[in-house]
Amino acid sequence: MERTLVIIKPEAVAKKLVGKIISIYEDNRLEIIHAHRVLATKEVLEKHYEAHKGKDFFDGLVQFMSSSEVVVLILEGENVVDIVREINGATNPQKALPGTIRYMFGETIEANAVHGSESVEAAENEIAIWRDLIRFES
């Protein structure tokens, strides 16, 4: 079954938006098979964001994502990667469509409430990267 990884970012956790964000996924009939609140290590984040290494925002992004706790979710279902990306909305909250999570809760391109895997391959890679930190079965 297809899986995807969502990270509820530090500012959204600090603003107590976890319940609201999880409800949006569940209201779209998605299955949350794992949820874990954790302070991400730079080591895990550098692997998670490896595709962005060398970009001017990389160091700031790793710093921000490790600044306070995040909530890592694993969701499962048919076509879940694309469905979650649609629900999350565009990376830049200013470009996100009304009704999407980033439109409603995103502050900046960095503090954009949630991360969602870009592809099935990226999702499995990210789940493997976070496994050490969030410990789950299967």
Residues noted as catalytic = 115
Alpha-carbon gap, residue 18 to 16, rounded angstroms? 6
Provide the token pair at 131: 């496994």
Q: Is 102 known to sit in a ligand binding site? A: yes
- In the bound state with ligand CMP, the residue whose beta carbon lies nearer, of 53 and 137, is 53
Going by the DSSP 8-state scheme, the letter that residue 5 receives in this structure is E
Which residue from 112, 126, 127, 129 is in contact with ligand CMP, where contact means CB under 6 A?
Answer: 112
CA distance 17 to 23: 10
| Residue 110 binds to ligand CMP (criterion: CB under 6 A) | yes
Token pair in block for residue 17: 């938006």
**End-to-end alpha-carbon separation of the chain, Å?**
12
Rule CB under 6 A: is residue 124 a binding residue for ligand CMP? Answer: no
Q: Min. distance of Cβ 68 from ligand CMP in angstroms?
A: 15
Q: Would you say 10 or 77 has its CB closer to ligand CMP?
A: 10
DSSP state of 97: P
Site for ligand CMP in 35-54 (CB under 6 A): 52
Residues near ligand CMP (CB under 6 A):
52, 57, 61, 91, 109-110, 112, 115
